[in-house]
A and B are shown apart, each in its own frame.
Chain A
């Protein structure tokens, strides 16, 4: 993470599109009128969805709509790294995971692919279509190395598959998200080597446990014999 600043070049104005404004209004309506500032994160997110990044006029607009000081919106926008404060690639914005598991599994090689095909991190390619950045753990370590491209995870990547994905994006295709090693999700890659004992699954290995503090079962009492 580095010092986060708003981009130097900013558009003149920002306005929510009709759809995003409707969504924004839905978020605002979720909270009591006096607490509508609570919608600041969803609204920043909507502004980012609409324009690709959070623009300075959007910060002003959100502050205006939520009747909160503009510095408070800026605080939130700069706090969360998920808010992009500078333009990103229009076709594909790659967030490459560079944390330890991914790095051990070859994230550094993926980085050189990105550097070669797109350019240095945090800069948009000349055609405006691509940009990339390295992020901290995205929580898909089982499928390392991985990258999030736009809204989806692309997992089990190799330099070749990542290059292919980028080429596909450049060609206007929509590459399939998910594992590029043929895995369904995060199941073991090859033969299953652990937890193979069938006893684990038929219930026989289960120990009887006593759950503490259960309410006592009502004792069956014999009906008193009639006198």
Chain B
């Protein structure tokens, strides 16, 4: 540890830190525009000027200056203040004074810092420069005259997102941020540039002119669009969610979120089920809760338990899963399944369906093998971590499955089960590296195991993991990458068919059941089933279309709920707004239904339900704890099942990234993005 002085106070710092970081260690705030901790250093805004001794008698850009032993750093001298005021004056020469009509107003770095370093008026009499607007696709609105050329967006899209589509063209006074000839940005992480933009040059297009930040009620919650459970802040006004922003969570999403997480929320206002419906004479008719419950309980009471089935969807909170399981188990129903995609998980130890290395811990892996997954589409934020490792040159990647653009290089090994089972004996560079690796990791996607021969493939993967000692003392490299936010909670709860019960795929077969209860399940072929269908959910999507009774539930922003992410981390989502219309929180609907069915659930409040949940399943009580953070060795032999693996190639279940769940499918913004991507891929194909 070296020591430097910041404004006369001694600070210890790690060699290699910059002067700016050392000053921050000392608690001094350094103004900045271009510098960002997670991006490379550009040093072009000059706002972070400080005085440094020894050194030339001039202000220095602290973000790009390495700190040295014995250095004296001054952040509050008259020279520093004057220098920063000069920089600010230059920045404001060409910056328009349109804060009253700028969406960044109220959360603008330039505005904030102008309060500290700006002049009260301008000394500049010449014309300000104006810059043409740029097209950047359906998410990013540009007002390029406001741009101060910090190049954060260029660095983000190049370094973190890995799809270099934004650039700084021309030079001098004429420089402009643009995409190539106005093409839309296609990265799944593109909208993070809006957060990064320190001014109002890049703002959110769907949120344009919607609200001011101080009008919004901010609720810290958890995302359900993928299985990462990114930390988000839901900004709502009255009863509408207006936007979603990322929260910093080093263990999960760092400070990024995917475009789907950010922009699918306009789907919360559309296609909503806001009152119960009952099908009368082949048509869904609005009904009261009492009528709906009466229809449901009459049907369920008249049906034998073995002819009743329950399928839970991908966005459910753990509480509603627990209430559903309790209710239908009490009725004697064995046909329960939380795996609407039919994934071959749920038997064996808990580790077998978790991302055991943990999301942050996967950065320590030195060789990673992807099996049947496309992390770029299934978990874009996680993919940014892989790219970060790849840039650092720390990790080698191999892929069995689709040969997609993952934004980093990898060894392509093969397409299907044959490659997987033959890998242990194969002779190639990657296998040699995998064998020699100190911390090897296998990442199994739903594309490999959510199919008829999934159990056999899982067994083959587990065998491979055993051969290569992927699970060893102090390191657990067995990772399942889920795509559904509710899946791990469902598996942890044992929301799987009991002894002799039917799995989701069998329940949907015509004639298999008389009553099918769909708990927000929209991604299964429920139309194929000829059973009486009860749908509890939020959107008029696939599940509701063919339902006989619709019970309107609450979306993830409308209820307090627990979600378990792919690494087994239990996280608490908070209610930002109230459910729509007559809709109610899912668990309370189930509680009310249980009463009409004569099997009253033993809890009257969410707290009581949670207490029961924690008592029955202690893992849910460990809020924000990732089990993999304490590596445990488990027996891989217990993973998977018997069967013959076919050689059909692994395909990622996420075909259209923007349209994976009912909220996203109801979102206009997501539809635009999806159209954009398919148009772009069409052009690329030609």
Contact = CB atoms under 8 A, between A and B. Distances in A.
Interface stretch (B173-181, B293-301, B371-379, B415-423): B173-181
Given A6-B181, A70-B180, A71-B179, A79 B164 contact: no
Given A1-B172, A4-B174, A72 B181 contact: no
A75 interface: yes
Interface in A110-126: none
Contacts of A3: 170, 174, 176
Contacts of A75: 167-169
Interface residue SS majority, chain B = mixed
Contact of A74 (B158, B174, B180): B180
Interface in B146-177: 158, 164-172, 174, 176
A71 B180 contact: yes
Contact of B174 (A1, A6, A69): A1
Given A70-B180, A71-B180, A74-B180, A4 B164 contact: no
A2 interface: yes
Contacts of B167: 69, 71-72, 74-75
Which of the four size classes fits the interface of chain B? 10 to 19
Contacts of A4: 169-170, 174
Contact of B164 (A2, A56, A69, A78): A69
Which interface residue of B165, B167, B178 has the most chain A CB atoms within 10 A? B167
Contact of B169 (A2, A56, A69, A79): A79
A56 B181 CA distance: 10
Nearest to B173: A1
A79 B167 CA distance: 12
Interface residues of A, number: 14
B180 A2 contact: no
Nearest to A70: B180
B165 A71 contact: yes
A71 B176 CA distance: 12
Contacts of B166: 71
B444 to A, nearest CB: 31
Interface string A1-45: 111101000000000000000000000000000000000000000
Nearest to A63: B180
Contacts of B174: 1-4
A72 B164 contact: yes
Contacts of A69: 158, 164-165, 167
Contacts of B158: 69
A72 B105 CA distance: 32
A1 B172 CA distance: 9
B169 A74 contact: yes
Nearest to B164: A69
B166 to A, nearest CB: 7
A74 B180 CA distance: 8
Contacts of A79: 169-171
A3 B174 CA distance: 6
Interface string A57-99: 0000000000001111011001100000000000000000000
A4 to B, nearest CB: 5
Nearest to B132: A3
B167 to A, nearest CB: 4
A56 B169 CA distance: 14
Contacts of B171: 78-79
Nearest to A71: B167
B157 to A, nearest CB: 9
A75 B164 CA distance: 12
Contacts of A70: 180
A85 B18 CA distance: 41
B479 to A, nearest CB: 30
B142 to A, nearest CB: 15
14 contacts: A3-B170, A4-B170, A6-B181, A69-B158, A69-B164, A69-B165, A69-B167, A70-B180, A71-B164, A71-B166, A71-B180, A75-B167, A75-B169, A79-B170
- Which 5 A-B pairs have CB atoms at the shortest separation, nearest pair first? A71-B167, A69-B164, A78-B169, A71-B180, A78-B170
Given A72-B164, A74-B167, A74-B169, 13 more contacts: A1-B172, A2-B174, A4-B170, A4-B174, A6-B181, A69-B165, A69-B167, A71-B165, A71-B166, A71-B167, A71-B178, A78-B169, A78-B170
